[in-house]
Amino acid sequence: RLDFGEDLDRLAGQHEDIVADVEAPTAQRLTVFAVPCDPGVYRGFRYSAIGISFDPAGMTKALSIEAFSGASVCYVTYPDGRILFSSAADAQPGNFLTHLHDEGEFHREGSWEDVERDWHDGRARMLLCKTGGVEQYLCYQPVGFGGWMLVSMTPVAVVNASMDRFMLATFAVLAGLFGLIALGVVALVILGGRRRMDAKNSEIRSREALFDLLTENTDDIFILFSPVDFTAGYVSPNLRRVLGFEESEVRQDVRRLVFEDGENVFVTDRDPFPADGLSAIPQGGIWSGELDVLHVRTYELRRFKKLLRRCNFEGKEQFILMLSDRTKERQMYETLGEALHTAKAANEAKSNFLANMSHDIRTPMNAVVGFSVLLGRDAEDPEKVREYTRKIAASSQHLLGLINDILDMSKIESGKTSLNMSQFSLPGLIDELYTMMLPQARAKNQEFDLYTKGALPDLLLGDKLRLSQVLINLLSNAVKYTQDGGHISLTVESLGQNPPNHEHLRFIVADNGYGMSEGFMTTIFDPFAREVTDATRGIQGTGLGMAITKNIIDLMGGTVTVESEPGVGSTFTVEVEMAAAGSQHDDGFWQRHGLLRLLVADDEDQICENIVGAMAGTGVEICCVQSGQEAVQQAAEAQAAGQGFDLVLIDWRMPGMDGLEAARRIRGQAAGKAPLIVLTSYDLEEAREAARGGEVDLFLPKPFFLSNFRRAASQLLDGGAEEAESIPEGGETLFRGLKVLAAEDNELNAEILVELLDVEGISCEVVHNGQEAVDRFLRMKPGEFDMIFMDVQMPVLDGYEATRAIRTSGHPLAAKIPIIAMTANAFEEDVQAALSAGMDAHTAKPIDLEKLKATIATLHPRG
């Protein structure tokens, strides 16, 4: 039929049931019943309606009524009158209601409008009407499906002739027809229901597959289980990947995963269920908690949010469990919490720092201001003047140290700290530290000991200044935080060489002072960190020294650790690797100087072991004793055996007979010809004063370094041919007559410089900016100036520009005259900037006269 397409449009677009006559490819006519349904896929075929077809001939036959001699005609029509089936084989109207309207005549008990209303309302009725001039009984009855009507038209005359048989046959046919239609409708409903069920099942399987796909790519787990036997109807497939549990074992009993039973070491229920168990959760209610689960295979600990919802599913009481991974969220919160704690601690530390700095800066500043006032008042009293100036100088140095710490920390935090690599002497560094720290320790009646272990190198390649800064920080703190009469030690140990040619060194600073709490040791290397106790209250400091120390050691690629106990003391250990510079050994030295046998006397085992270790491989035979008496006896016995010692090295202060007495007795023996060196950790001048009488040839400071001992041996055994150079005494005459040109725009600084130089016998002419310095240099006569002091920040022309102008001026001395930068900018990059501009050296303000004299001596040695 041509209107079948319209029927299909109505089915698809308006979701209406349809019945249509169609012609099959075999030319067979069929009647199609179709109802819309939810879209689905069946064996790859997508559908949105379910239908069934019948042979209309069978329906026509079923409608045929044998009664009334076949004179009765039956129809099945749509609600709008269109005829669906008819028992008439000949021509029939297309629309029964239209036909009835056009040709039907009704008696007074009925009308066409009554018929139309009945059909619209689905009511049954029997009427008398006339069509084609024949009176007929019109009977219609709703079928009960799709608004269809069962209609019969029977001539009145035929009915009157055989009413009984007609009625019996009619009702039989009606019963059969209704039964057939009912069976068809039931079959259609069953088939539609089955198709719907298949579609639903397919949809469920599709949704499960999609859900499986989604959960497989997440770390959230979903489980549907029964509260009766705890079997799981659904377990998301990511279970094995996320937790390592097998899906089958959880399906059998979900309690293996969710509930801690004392045997499952992989599950820790942080929020156990209420005592009433699952029954405590109401219908539709949700219970939540947290669960820690250890991965069965990787042992990774993960935190999950546990959500349980009670529900009805497929008519049964079920529980939906969701385990939502909160591991990263927990880690993020912990990280944020730590960051917040760190930020609060840093903020509190900075607040404390500002408060402490206010006190620490004002304390020395108060001394400077106060003693300056007193200096003016007591200017006529030389003793008070010297005392005031000494205290002003000490307070100024302390204030300068505070400022340097702040600048160093600022530089470290900005990432601008760098190492200045150069060759330096490790014994020289240790000697400088000892010389610097010994007076501080003695001021508090503290013992300060130096120890060495292993074969320490002489020359190293590294940043001597930074390493010295680290050790000074540690030693200064040891002195500061150790009570009067305490003990402090510095141990320098060689841990051997690591290729290629690197020395592994360990520095240990130990004290028996106040100590630190375990909590403070976790933050001691943080900027501004300070621990204030009853014992340490009142001790000044910035809280930056340890932070600077840690950053410098990190920059060197080393480590710094601390061990401490309140009331017992502290031990700081620094380990670094540095390249050895040049040859560390001269194996032929000892044989050339005839030193084959050495007598060592020291009451400390460690000292003897260090000397033996340092001399290992030199070919020198060493005899160690631990008292002065043993030394005297050993020297006599060796001489008597004809194997006298070539040199005697003896400690000064030993129990019983000290080193000086032992030296006198050895000198009185026949063995007394051997050179004799006294090894001491005490003040050398004090030792020389005590040794007046000539028994001792040389004094050697502790700790024992092979390079120092070799120089001393060379001086004694070859008449001083290899004696190290020394700076002549009477340094005040070294620079007398030296003339300098100084560029300084600050009049106060210029005045200080002139007076300081005048003390050393140096004359100074001052200009006030860089341009004046250039002009004065160009007018300079030969020999008029020996060097130039150049401030960096000046008006008109700064120090860098002035230096470049001088170097490129073409003056005969332009390339030769030494230029020293004098600036308050004291960072390494400032030093490099000065050297890059053509200057020869850099000295920081405020001026340290001793450092300035050393720089002058390097650039312009005289006498």
Kindly report the CATH number assigned to the domain that includes residue 354. Answer: 1.10.287.130
343 plus 478 within the same structural domain: no
Last residue of a domain, one of 580, 615, 631: 580
Separation between Cα atoms, residue 456 and residue 494, nearest integer Å: 5
pLDDT reading at 114 higher than 50: yes
Q: Where residue 499 sits, what CATH number does that domain have?
A: 3.30.565.10
316 plus 295 within the same structural domain: yes
356 plus 306 within the same structural domain: no
62 plus 114 within the same structural domain: yes
Q: Which residues in 26-65 are b (16+ Cβ under 10 Å) and which e?
A: eeeeebbbbbbbeebeeeeeeeebbbeeeebeebbebbeb
Report if residue 728 sits inside a domain: no
Note the pLDDT tens digit of each residue in 563-610: 999 989 999 999 999 988 765 566 678 888 888 898 999 888 878 888
Mean pLDDT for the stretch of residues 744-763: 88
Mean pLDDT for the stretch of residues 678-700: 72
Let me know: does 126 contact 138? Beta carbons within 8 Å. Answer: yes
Report if residue 723 sits inside a domain: no
Q: Maximum Cα–Cα distance for the chain, whole Å?
A: 177
> Phi/psi class of residue 42: alpha, beta or left (left: φ > 0; alpha: ψ in -120 to 50)?
beta
Band (172; pLDDT cuts 50, 70, 90): low
Report if residue 10 sits inside a domain: yes
Between these two residues, 863 and 90, which has the higher pLDDT value? 90
Q: Identify the CA nearest to 464 among candidates 504, 503, 498, 432.
A: 432
Last residue of a domain, one of 411, 431, 455: 411
| pTM check: above 0.75 | no
Cis peptide before 457 (omega within 30 of 0): no
Band (506; pLDDT cuts 50, 70, 90): very high
Q: Where residue 280 sits, what CATH number does that domain have?
A: 3.30.450.20
Count other C-beta atoms under 10 Å from residue 144's C-beta: 13
500 plus 373 within the same structural domain: no
Structural domain range at position 237? 218-325
Let me know: does 574 contact 554? Beta carbons within 8 Å. Answer: no
565 plus 464 within the same structural domain: yes
Between these two residues, 87 and 543, which has the higher pLDDT value? 87
560 plus 521 within the same structural domain: yes
Residue type, 645: F
Last residue of a domain, one of 271, 294, 325: 325
Mean pLDDT for the stretch of residues 623-646: 88
Residue type, 19: V
| Tokens 């409903």 belong to residue | 189
Separation between Cα atoms, residue 697 and residue 712, nearest integer Å: 10
Query: Structural domain tally of the chain?
Result: 6
Judged by average pLDDT, the poorest of 267-271, 381-385, 735-739 is 267-271
* pLDDT confidence of residue 312: 82
Report if residue 676 sits inside a domain: yes
Report if residue 722 sits inside a domain: no
User: What 3-state DSSP class applies to 557?
Assistant: coil
Q: Where residue 853 sits, what CATH number does that domain have?
A: 3.40.50.2300
Report if residue 726 sits inside a domain: no
681 plus 816 within the same structural domain: no
Mean pLDDT for the stretch of residues 658-675: 78
Report if residue 389 sits inside a domain: yes
45 plus 178 within the same structural domain: yes
Note the pLDDT tens digit of each residue in 254-278: 877 765 444 455 666 656 665 556 7
Separation between Cα atoms, residue 627 and residue 708, nearest integer Å: 23
522 plus 659 within the same structural domain: no
517 plus 461 within the same structural domain: yes
Report if residue 667 sits inside a domain: yes
571 plus 606 within the same structural domain: no
Report the chain's mean pLDDT, rounded to a whole number: 78
